[in-house]
Structure 1
Amino acid sequence: MSLYRKRLRVVRGEGVYVWDSQGKKYLDLIAGIGVNVLGHNHPEWVSAIKEQLEKLVVAGPMFEHEERDEMLEELSHFVNYEYVYMGNSGTEAVEAAIKFARLYTGRKEIIAMTNAFHGRTMGALSATWKPKYRQGFEPLVPGFKHIPFNNVEAAKEAITKETAAVIFEPIQGEAGIIPAKEEFVETLRDLTEDVGALLIADEVQSGLRTGKFLAIEHYKVEPDIVTMGKGIGNGIPVSLTMTNFDVERGKHGSTFGGNPLACKAVATTLRILRKENLIEKAEEKFIEVKAKDVVMTRGKGLMIGIVMRKPVGRFVEELQNRGYLVHTAGQRVIRLLPPLIISKEQMNKVKSAIEGVINDLSGGEG
């Protein structure tokens, strides 16, 4: 569905705000669909990118460069995966993960979840569940099957010695900000280990946002492959596929993946997040919206879904009219993915604004 009846033309951003072509100011709670984790025009980040543009943008994957070393050093503060493969988008990271799983195990079957969203290229699309994304592109890549998310018994029945990997989102984003249940994640880990399959955590949307570097850390489970994208470069297209096993040189590659500009963007983003403790602070900024026609608020940290009894289109439109940009996840969920630099006080104002709009349009308090 369209986010707004009329598309908004944004022309500049500063911090947690953007301005449209008419000069109106908005609090940006979309952040490029979870991309601008440092907000817009962060001075330290912009300075580093400008400097890199004047120094070296691309080098080619056959060369080493200091920006890659810098990125890996910053990444080591958060995770201890031995190998990092760089691409240009979240869907590319998922494609790499699928390829690596089949190559490593020698098996073909990939198990994904109902309501999952992993991207729009052919392999990632095959793991993505909703028919609206898939229709018109069949036949998709063979070997994929879907099981109900958070269904332990379905997982036990589906995962066998034919399975190469199980891919899942610790918090399903496009599905409506639905966290995985602890028992389900533990079951996936146990079953994949038992049959020699790999566990892939897709953290493209959930990474950085939940109070921990990876949302999977809340479950104290270590997957075999992790994918990241979106906010990891704060706006420069970049993605990571992290593993503890190597892939033979030549089996996978990317012309632009791991270029000096992208590496500098990741290194600078991670350094600022670490220095300002923004990832940990995200957890305390979660808000719970209570208003008429609100079923629940779910998610973790600054990955928030407000589940409604009614379609959310008119609520989203009215919030825009009042200077708040929010996103959707399906027809009945208002989705918030704000910059991590947003303050707790600003999030409380967001809570009040959303509750006010919902109550005004729904005819009173719930």
Structure 2
Amino acid sequence: MSLYKKRLKLVKGEGVYVWDENGNKYLDAIAGIGVAILGHSNEELASAINEQMKKLVVAGPMFHHEEKDEALEELSRFLSFEYAYFGNSGTEAVEAALKFARLYTGKKEIIAMTKAFHGRTFGSLSATWKKKYREGFEPLVPGFKHIPFNNVEAAKDAITKETAAVIVEPIQGEGGIIPAKAEFIKTLRDLTQDNGALLIVDEVQSAFRSGKFLAIEHYKIQPDIVTMGKGLANGIPIGLTLTNFDVPRGKHGSTFGGNPLACKAMETTLKILRREKLIEKAEEKSISIEGDKVIMTRGKGLMLGILLKENAGKYVEKLQERGLLVNTAGNKVIRLLPPLIITKEQMLWVKETIEGVLNG
């Protein structure tokens, strides 16, 4: 039995392309909602995973293994955090971050943003804004409140000595690909430090895509906690919560988190990103969509949102008919999260195709 009988059925992928069951070819400009940053069927990654399958797949949280060391060593070439906690998804990474904030500060209040998306477990869902995700699951976790994104005065009013943490996306994904303003991020950093609260930066969707390893690097501030997932292992489930403070042993754990297979996939993915300079090249491949129906193109690098004057959903199927896969972020935004291996020429084809459909 299928829950998705009316949806496109994909059967294989290679590079930036995927094929459906009828042999139709599509340029995949959504990549599993930002997951396939190296594209599909990367041979080097497939070989590494295959070899790891023959060696050691699971170890359990009570043991150590070299694949974790190697993954963290590769990560350290990009970032400097003292502690790393593995999970199996971005949602789990956020859930861990919220737990750690309450544990470390001894306080309960978590401040999140309007239009934010942080996941679908009870803690991460409590930080998520959109009503349709929350409906039917209330009451959610108490102690959460939302303030308007990019509103400095609201932040000043909300963050107090009672605040355990503020959680923010440097570029809101599900909310419509909306970058944070520099003044807003600086205000959050200053206020959290002044009030003994932690600043959690959710990079689950925005990591790798903006021209920097983390999008928060554009703001030149240091968060207390960073969450990652999605493209970190190019499709192998993984989540990562980074801190500069320790969490007492036994207070948090995961049966599958940090397993050798996922760590090998993470190490290999990061190695390819570094060697091929794919992160640095993201900005030069960026595009802007023009047309009477377009208000603006926003985002950064290869995390883009095309804000329209009308509903964007009706254009998703039309673009699919032209061989281009995209999705939406909010009612009026076409979202682009293509693999980082995409070429400038392919991105120009994406631009031409979208403009052709919008203006046709």
Scaled by the length of structure 2, what TM-score is found?
0.98
Residue 130 (structure 2) pairs with residue 127 (structure 1): no
Q: Percent identity?
A: 75
Alignment-derived partner of residue 138 in structure 1: 138
Taking the aligned partners of 1:292 and 1:45, their CA distance within structure 2 comes to: 42
CA offset digits 1:173-221 (Å, max 9, x no partner): 0010000000000000000000110000000000111110000000001
Give me the CA root mean square deviation.
0.9
Alignment partners' CA distance in 2, 1:46 and 1:5? 29
Question: Which amino acid is 2:93 matched to?
Answer: A
Map 1:265-280 onto structure 2 (within 5 A).
265-280=265-280
Alignment partner, residue 40 of structure 2: 40
Matched, 1:105 2:105: yes
Q: Distance in 2 between matches of 1:15 and 1:6?
A: 25
CA–CA distance in structure 1, aligned partners of residues 133 and 304 of structure 2: 23
Matches for 1:1-366 after TM superposition, within 5 Å: 6-360=6-360
Divergent runs of 4+, >6 A: none
Distance in 1 between residues matched to 2:324 and 2:39, nearest whole Å? 15
What amino acid maps onto 1:212 in structure 2? K
User: Could you list the runs of 5+ residues in structure 2 that have no partner in the other structure?
Assistant: none
TM-aligned CA deviation for residue 5 of structure 1: 10
SS, match of residue 266 in structure 2: helix
Correspondence for 1:364: none
Tell me the number of residue pairs that the alignment of Structure 1 and Structure 2 aligns.
357
SS at match of 2:55: coil
Q: In structure 2, how many angstroms separate the alpha carbons of the residues matched to 1:218 and 1:5?
A: 42
Cα distance in 2 for partners of 1:247, 1:290 equals 49
Letter in 2 for 1:309: K
Q: Secondary structure at the match of 2:281?
A: helix
The CA deviation string for residues 115-161 of structure 1, in whole angstroms up to 9 with x for no partner, is: 10000000000000111111110110000000000000000000000
Cα displacement (A) at 1:96: 0.2
- For 1:5 and 1:212, the matched residues in 2 are separated by 39
Q: C-alpha distance in 2, partners of 1:273/1:170?
A: 21
2:112 partner letter: A
Q: In structure 1, what is the Cα distance between the partners aligned to 2:313 and 2:226?
A: 33
Per the alignment, in what secondary structure is the counterpart of residue 149 of structure 1?
Answer: coil
* Map of 1:363 onto structure 2: none
- The letter of the residue matching 2:140 is L
Q: 1:304: Cα distance to partner?
A: 0.3
Q: What SS does structure 1 have at the residue aligned with 2:116? A: coil
Q: For the residues of structure 2 that align with 1:314 and 1:253, how far apart are their CA atoms?
A: 43
Please list every run of 5 or more consecutive structure 1 residues that lacks an aligned counterpart in the other structure.
361-366
CA distance in 1, matches of 2:335, 2:124: 22
Cα shift at 1:344: 0.8
Distance 1:319 1:219, change over 3 A: same
How many angstroms does 1:314 deviate by?
Answer: 2.3
Which sits farther off after the overlay, 311-320 or 107-116?
311-320
